[in-house]
Amino acid sequence: MTAPPFSTVLVANRGEIAVRVIRTCRELGIATVAVHSDVDAGALHVRLADEVVSLGGTTAAESYLDVSKIVAAIEQTGAEAVHPGYGFLSENADFVTAVQQAGGVFVGPPAEAMELMGSKLSARAAATAAGVPTIPGSEHPVVDGDGVRAFAARHGYPLAVKASYGGGGRGMRVVHGDDEADAAVESARREATAYFGEPEVYVERYLERPRHVEVQVLADELGTVVAVGTRDCSVQRRHQKLLEEAPASTISAETADAMFQASIALAKAVDYRGAGTLEFLAQDDEFFFLEMNTRLQVEHPVTEAVADIGTAGRVDLVAEQLRIAAGLPISFEQADLSVSGHAIELRINAEDPRGGSFLPTPGPITALQPPSGVRFDTGYERGDVVSEHYDGLVGKLVVWGEDRPAAIANARRALRELGVGGIRTTAPAHGLILEHPHFVEDVHTTRWLETESTMARALDRLADVPVEAGLPPRRLATVNGRTYWMPDDGPPPQVVLQTAERGADLVSSDGIVRSPMQGTIVKLACAAGDRVEADQVVCVLEAMKMENPLRAGRTGVVTSLEVALGDSVAPAQVLLSIEEDDA
Residue 291 DSSP class = E
- What are the DSSP calls for 165-206, one per residue? S--TTTTEEEE-SGGGHHHHHHHHHHHHHHHHS---EEEEE-
**Is residue 316's pLDDT more than 60?**
yes
Type and span of the H or E element at 216: strand 211-219
Type and span of the H or E element at 368: strand 367-369
Confidence of residue 426 (pLDDT cuts 50, 70, 90): very high
Give the closest residue to 504 by CA, choosing from 572, 573, 574, 425.
Answer: 572
Assign 95 to helix, strand or coil. helix
pLDDT tens readout for residues 266-288:
999 999 999 999 999 998 878 99
Mean pLDDT, range 240-253, rounded to an integer: 95
Assign 332 to helix, strand or coil. coil
Confidence of residue 212 (pLDDT cuts 50, 70, 90): very high
pLDDT over 90, % of the chain: 70
3-state secondary structure 466-480: CCECCECCEEEEEEC
Cβ-based neighbour number of residue 337 at 10 Å: 18
CA distance 422 to 536: 33
Average the pLDDT over each of 213-222, 227-236, 439-448, 507-516 and give the range with the smallest value: 507-516
**Is residue 571's pLDDT more than 80?**
no
**Helix intervals (H) in 290-426:** 300-306, 317-325, 404-417
In terms of DSSP bridges, do strands 51-54 and 31-36 run parallel, antiparallel, or are they unpaired?
Answer: parallel
Mean pLDDT, range 181-209, rounded to an integer: 88
The residue count of the chain comes to: 583
User: One-letter amino acid identity for 407?
Assistant: A
Mean pLDDT, range 194-200, rounded to an integer: 82
Confidence of residue 567 (pLDDT cuts 50, 70, 90): confident
Confidence of residue 117 (pLDDT cuts 50, 70, 90): very high
pLDDT over 70, % of the chain: 91
Mean pLDDT, range 417-444, rounded to an integer: 94
Give the closest residue to 38 by CA, choosing from 385, 392, 422.
Answer: 385
Say if residue 108 is exposed, middle or buried (CB neighbours under 10 Å; 0-12, 13-18, 19+).
buried
Q: How far apart are the first and last CA of the chain?
A: 80
The DSSP bridge partners found for residue 442 are none
Domains of the chain: 8-107 (3.40.50.20), 136-205 (3.30.1490.20), 211-461 (3.30.470.20), 466-498 (no CATH), 512-579 (2.40.50.100)
Mean pLDDT, range 326-344, rounded to an integer: 97
Is the peptide bond between 247 and the residue preceding it cis, with omega within 30 degrees of 0? yes
**Is residue 504's pLDDT more than 90?**
no
Give the closest residue to 433 by CA, choosing from 503, 345, 506.
Answer: 345
